[in-house]
Amino acid sequence: MVTAEEVIKDARHTLSDLARERWTDGRLLSLLNDGLVDISKNTILYVREKYVELINNQTLYDLSSFAYKILRVEFEDKPLKQTSRNELDRINSTWQAETSEKITHYLVDKLQEGRMLVYPTPVNAVIDNINFGGSYGIITGVTYSDLQLNLGDTLGDLGGVKEDGFIKVFYIETPTTITDIISTINISVVAKEPLAHYIAGRALRDNHDAQNRSMGVEEINLYVKQLEDYSLEKAKNFSQVAYSVPYRPFGV
């Protein structure tokens, strides 16, 4: 468990500002939130997965209330190919009217990357006796299935699920904005020290003094170095072959 207070205290040690004379808690809290956004965009620490129900004749699936970006989609335990409207137009000019029980592609909304379209339009995607009581078609309970599929640790022991009635979505969770210094941060403890370096580095750049700005760059470099092993670019298991993210920390 990581708290905002712990991270900011560590940053204040680096800044030699335990008395809160140079930076307010509000300013450092703002930088902490910037850091969480940067970590979510560039590392696997906010990568999550959900099982989403396929609804007959529905192509649009909007996870943007909790997903910043969709990274990968699987159907019947195999990755779907990410494509574009232009590519589908080239392959089949009437693709929007095509229906099938089998999904083969997905398209991510470039303006809102937590939204996606699936192709072809699903039909007969029926799952018997599965409770989709959660929002956005998220599975909340299972009583029976003809196929035995182990859902693993993500949702606990839900029994078997019929594979052709849902998709498995890997996505980047949108970080919760921290508004109070005593708040708990929903992130792995491995981010605690790098996040403190990020806050200190950004804070030092508030000052136009050359020495402070140089120290700020050093802190940002430490932040990047400590998160290298968790970068999205290295995490091939969370990406399509063509998916790559150059690591450029926010504010640098």
Environment class of residue 142 by beta-carbon count within 10 Å: exposed (0-12), middle (13-18) or buried (19+)?
A: buried
Q: Residue ranges of the chain with pLDDT lower than 70?
A: 125-164, 236-252
Extents of the domains making up the chain: 2-45+179-231, 47-173
Q: Residue 73, by phi and psi: left (phi above 0), alpha (psi -120 to 50) or beta?
A: beta
Q: What is the structure's pLDDT at 233?
A: 81
Q: What is the structure's pLDDT at 237?
A: 56
- Both tokens of residue 251? 């504010």
Q: What is the structure's pLDDT at 147?
A: 27
Q: What is the structure's pLDDT at 129?
A: 37
